[in-house]
Amino acid sequence: MHCETRHGMKPEHWYVAYTEPRREALAREHLHRQGYECYLPLLGALEPMFPRYLFFRPASVSQSIAPVRSTRGVQAVVRFGSIYAQVPPSLIETVQEQETQYRQRAPGSPPLRPGQRVRLHTANNALTGLEGLVHVSATRRVIVLMEILGRQTLVKIPAENIEVV
């Protein structure tokens, strides 16, 4: 479904702002003040899911995105050549679902962060008791960097089989 180009209609696609380091919330606040709809996916309460990136869209098709480039906290608007990158609403919905799943992970369990030391605690698995570093963390699976047979190896492990050391 494509948005009509009449005055006052909300654009369908989102754009992506590349922010200054650790200024995602500041950029979101200032874009919101200018009337843009903003979405900053978070892991936990404060950590951005995509550090330095913020999704935004104009309130109407007549609102220009040109002022975004000079908004406090924004370094640039992401583009490919001269074309601004556009994100379809379906992708935003998927990210929102992932954000919700992440928050519902295991009540009371701290979020896993890259570089965090963890230990495997699975039954009937040769890797039980081994430790490694979180490489990537998702809702259901964690990729852990482990030393196995003298080599560093990335291993995918169900999140419920990991404990923080």
Q: What domains, with CATH codes, occur in the chain? A: 14-103 (3.30.70.940), 117-164 (2.30.30.30)
CA angle 52, 53, 57 (to 5 degrees): 145
CB 105, CB 120: distance < 8 Å: no
pLDDT digits (tens, 9 = 90+) for 33-79: 999 999 999 876 678 888 999 999 999 999 999 999 999 999 999 99
CB 88, CB 102: distance < 8 Å: no
Question: β-pairing, 79-80 with 83-84?
Answer: antiparallel
**Residue 3: pLDDT band with limits 50, 70, 90:** very low
Write down the residue that tokens 């989102």 correspond to: 14
Nearest to 117, CA basis, from 141, 95, 144: 144
Range list of β-strands (E), 11-104: 14-19, 37-39, 42-43, 47-48, 53-57, 74-77, 79-80, 83-84, 86-87
Asked whether the predicted pLDDT for residue 13 surpasses 70, the reply is: yes
* pTM for this prediction: 0.62
Write down the residue that tokens 């919330």 correspond to: 25
Nearest to 55, CA basis, from 88, 82, 22: 88
Sign of the CA dihedral running 38, 43, 47, 48: negative
